[in-house]
A = this chain, B = another copy of it.
């Protein structure tokens, strides 16, 4: 059987309520007894019983996260990063891989204090009975009244184009998923078009290359279309980490040089960008910052909700340009 505070109390010769206070570092206990109790509890190998604690305190200190159904390396990096950051707090994180509704129910039985949801999980669901909810990504339903964290895709495209234009590029292509109904993809592509216009460049419709998907191979094939053009662009914005991987590969196979033949900026600001076949300059909210904001927000939400003040907000996070060596001035 596990050691309980009563066992400790017996050994220490105090009441078990004193033990409880001591272990929770309450200022109501004399430093001396506190130290003694802590020492004894360690010697006895005491581990607090989570169930008992959460039963009485009515909070579990657990954050639940519903695993995004669309598997992308960027999302799993985000999830891992969120987990790491939560581990640094007094909270823990658990995951569910079930559909949203099922996950929500599981989490309710666990009485998790807060739930992180990815808007890619776009199933219909009823969140009315749940604990504090926070979502990441572009929401499809405006009537959902929980806070949202979302990268500013439009601004990202603006910064990418701005940087390329500054280097002297005027012929910039976008290789990304134009056919998707995923609002995130739509925002990127619209953002790109808007940015081109804002920088006074000519928007060549041929330079909007549809990958028809987000996989590595989609980027690879789409890049093939680009080589068939007579009037090739000098710079490319890749729509995602995976797509850009395919672009690089297509370049390498044709013995093309980055950045001399083509300057490339990739969407998605993840550290893995540095380990690609060719390290790419990238644009996007750094995944660490995203995770930090998500963790900070969910905890704030959880703790504020206890005082019944749920304020619905939406945070469009600012992207950053991460310079590597995949961009140069265009050849004359």
B79 touches A111 (CB 8 A): no
Partner of A249, one of B55, B92, B217, B249: B217
Q: Is there a chain B Cβ closer than 8 Å to A316's Cβ?
A: no
Q: Is there a chain B Cβ closer than 8 Å to A204's Cβ?
A: no
A interface, by DSSP: helix, strand, loop or mixed? helix
B80 touches A97 (CB 8 A): yes
Within residues 78 to 103 of chain A, which ones have a CB less than 8 A from any CB in chain B?
A: 79-80, 83-84, 87, 92-98, 102
B47 touches A51 (CB 8 A): no
In this complex, the member of A67, A94, A106 whose beta carbon has the largest number of chain B beta carbons within 10 angstroms is A94
Cα distance A102–B50 in the bound complex, in angstroms: 16
Cα distance A79–B98 in the bound complex, in angstroms: 10
Cα distance A300–B119 in the bound complex, in angstroms: 37
| Residues of A in contact, count (CB < 8 Å) | 38
Partner of A110, one of B2, B50, B84, B106: B50
Q: Which residues of B contact A183 (CB under 8 A)?
A: none
Cα distance A94–B60 in the bound complex, in angstroms: 15
A94 touches B94 (CB 8 A): yes
A51 touches B111 (CB 8 A): yes
B111 touches A50 (CB 8 A): yes
B92 touches A94 (CB 8 A): no
B216 touches A109 (CB 8 A): no
Q: Is there a chain B Cβ closer than 8 Å to A229's Cβ?
A: no
Binary CB contact string for chain A from 103 to 125 against chain B (1 if under 8 A, 0 otherwise): 00110111100000000000000
A55 touches B47 (CB 8 A): no
Q: Which residues of B contact A60 (CB under 8 A)?
A: 51
B87 touches A98 (CB 8 A): yes
Cα distance A51–B80 in the bound complex, in angstroms: 27
Q: Is there a chain B Cβ closer than 8 Å to A309's Cβ?
A: no
Within residues 15 to 39 of chain A, which ones have a CB less than 8 A from any CB in chain B?
A: none
B216 touches A47 (CB 8 A): no
Partner of A79, one of B47, B97, B105, B108: B97
B97 touches A97 (CB 8 A): no
- Which 10 residue pairs of A and B lie closest in terms of their CB atoms, listed nearest first? A95-B95, A94-B94, A51-B55, A51-B51, A51-B54, A83-B97, A50-B109, A47-B109, A47-B108, A52-B55
A-B CB contact pairs (8 Å), 5 listed: A2-B111, A51-B51, A51-B60, A94-B96, A95-B95
